[in-house]
Structure 1
Amino acid sequence: MIAQIVPVLFAFGANLGDRGETIRAAQRALAAAPGIRDFSASPLRETIALTERGPDPEAPRYLNGVASAQTALTPHELLDLTQRLEADHGRVRDARWGDRTLDIDLILYGGRVVRDERLTIPHPRAHERDFVLAPWLALDPDAVLMGHGRVDALLARIGDTTAPFAEPGDAQA
């Protein structure tokens, strides 16, 4: 049996520790994982922390990015893989929307809809998160979020509060 190859989109976030290195290390590990190919990561963007009560300027700021890839893994195999990577990077799940060393969300899995106790795809709040939409637009100017429309139009509607992040090795202007 030949595995179906499916396009996927991941979102990454971190607001504790060496945020940029943690995200890039997780992305390298994900790109090297069996069943993943054609991995392409966006530039990272910096944002204010978003809590259950709303934006929190007192909390450590987040770095966020997205990455596209092709996979032969199932949605739940990807979830297990990303949760292992989060744990490898010190992720502790003690508070919903709390500070974290690493968060990896599966935003899209081809054109598939998944809704169960462990996973919802497309991600239910991606359309209202500039920290997902802005880096995604940088990665793919023609991106479309299934069920919501063009990413550029979604971002224009909600506004972009993210800021570019200068990574080590970036040329300084």
Structure 2
Amino acid sequence: MARAILALGANMGDPAHQIAQAIDAIAAHPQISLLEQSTLIVSAPWGKTDQPQFHNSAVLVETSLLPIDLLEYCLATEAEIGRVRIERWGPRVIDIDIIVYDDLVITTEQLILPHPYAHERDFVMTPVREIAPDVANWLMNQAGRPST
């Protein structure tokens, strides 16, 4: 079993409800166990700043899914909740990112771990520090290291 941290965000519709829906879907998967959940925070948008504030949270999970399978489940959950990918860093009804998967450091066409921008984003790091301070420290130590 691997441990992973997922970051969740939303700024359209009812963000708190959509994040709760996503967490419920994650916890309902037979190969995922929800271990910790951060409090919900509100933050300014990042990247594209002319949009509503985001609600953000993070969860620590244990899973037997491989990283790519976990990613596919996160993307399917986003689609089920109503996410349509139109604009990079634009408004969204839900976003679920894999921040870490154990201490795996990889770069593939579909997935980069740890998440390449996590250490730059307070809306990711604040919830991660709350539920897994050791992982937050590891992420900060990984910043700038090349992926393999």
* Alpha-carbon distance between aligned partners in 2 of 1:26 and 1:60, rounded to the nearest angstrom: 20
Give the residue type in structure 2 aligned to 1:104. Answer: I
Q: Whose helix fraction is larger, Structure 1's or Structure 2's?
A: 2
Tell me if 1:37 matches 2:29: no
Q: Could you tell me which runs of 5 or more consecutive residues in structure 2 were left unpaired when the two chains were aligned.
A: 143-148
Q: TM-score, normalised by structure 1?
A: 0.77
Selected match of 2:102 from 82, 86, 110? 110
Q: Which residue of 2 aligns with 1:169?
A: none
* Alpha-carbon distance between aligned partners in 1 of 2:139 and 2:24, rounded to the nearest angstrom: 30
Aligned residue for 1:37, secondary structure, equals: strand
* Coordinate RMSD, CA, aligned: 1.6
Q: How many matched pairs?
A: 142
Question: Deviation digits for residues 84-132 of structure 1, max 9, x if unmatched?
Answer: 0000111111111110000000000011122111110100000010000
Q: TM-score, normalised by structure 2?
A: 0.89
* Alpha-carbon distance between aligned partners in 1 of 2:118 and 2:92, rounded to the nearest angstrom: 18
Give the residue type in structure 1 aligned to 2:90. Answer: G
Pairing of 1:1-173 with structure 2 (within 5 A)? 5-52=1-48, 56=49, 58-146=50-138, 148-149=140-141
Larger gyration radius, structure 1 or structure 2: 1
Cα deviation, residue 147, structure 1? 5.2
Of 13-22 and 133-142, the range deviating more from structure 2: 133-142
Relative to structure 1, is the Cα distance of residues 39 and 31 closer, same or farther in structure 2, using a 3 angstrom cutoff? farther
Cα deviation, residue 135, structure 1? 1.2
Q: Could you tell me which runs of 5 or more consecutive residues in structure 1 were left unpaired when the two chains were aligned.
A: 151-173
Q: Where in structure 1 do 4 or more consecutive aligned residues deviate above 6 Å?
A: none
Give the residue type in structure 1 aligned to 2:10. Answer: A
Matched-pair identity in %: 37
Aligned residue for 1:28, secondary structure, equals: helix
